[in-house]
Amino acid sequence: MESCFNNSKLKSAIECMLFVSQEPISAAQMAAALETDEPAIEQAVYDLILDLGQRGLQIVRVAGGYQMCTRPEYSDACQRILVPQNQKLSRAAFETLAVVAYRQPVTQPEVESIRGVDSSGVMKKLLERGLIKEVGRKQTPGRPILYGTTSKFLEHLGLNDLSELPDIDSLAVDKIRELEAQQELFTNGEIVAAITESEPEMADAC
């Protein structure tokens, strides 16, 4: 597909799209919007990443697409002028989310069996926040709902796909919490600084 954009204009257009987008944008989406092919987009993104160098903004690959965000070393400066929009998850929510992430597709009773406590309220909150979703029904009596993680879950933790999840062990929940604390995203076109692990208390339960 021949484009009316040269590489320089492609980089400028891509930079604008990434800046205003609330979600990661795939190379295919950018190629369709700019009427060019994906290799040209990938090359332009690569060149743009080099252009940004050590500036305050960076382009990262997340949830199968690209997103512009702030560099972690400047999160403190951002926090001083902005109110964080990404509310951190409670310990119970992290535990539930970790079970779903590593055991998916999984039913609510299975989650509760692993955690040893009722998880209906936490599951509901995770559904409302778009971090998990219904993915089908288990072919057993009663056909209970099966749950799995979403692309928003990947975006929330700054992962490209599930293969980047930490190895499952006793520290998995803490590692997932650390990923969330480090992840910085753009929301509604504004920088959202992550809540860092230096804070003594976690935010209210989700």
Helix axis angle for 91-103 and 120-128, nearest 10°, is 80
Q: At residue 5, does pLDDT exceed 80? A: no
Q: At residue 85, does pLDDT exceed 90? A: no
Residue, of 118 and 76, whose pLDDT is higher? 118
Q: At residue 178, does pLDDT exceed 90? A: no
Residue, of 180 and 141, whose pLDDT is higher? 141
The whole-angstrom separation of Cα 65 and Cα 160 is: 8
pLDDT classification of 156: cutoffs 50, 70, 90: confident
Residue 166, pLDDT score: 75
Q: What is the pLDDT of residues 97-124, one digit of tens each?
A: 988 998 899 999 999 988 888 999 999 9
Q: Tell me the average pLDDT across 17-33.
A: 92
Inter-residue contact 147 to 16 (CB < 8 Å): no
Q: At residue 179, does pLDDT exceed 90? A: no
**46 strand-pairing partners:** none
Q: At residue 36, does pLDDT exceed 50? A: yes
User: What domains, with CATH codes, occur in the chain?
Assistant: 7-70 (1.10.10.10), 91-192 (1.10.10.10)
Scored b (16 or more CB within 10 A) or e, 127-165 reads eebebbbeeeeeeeeeeeebbbbbbebbbbbbbeeeeeb
Residue 195, pLDDT score: 32
Residue 3, pLDDT score: 56
Q: At residue 47, does pLDDT exceed 70? A: yes
The percent of the chain in helix, strand and coil, each rounded to the nearest 5, is: 50, 15, 35
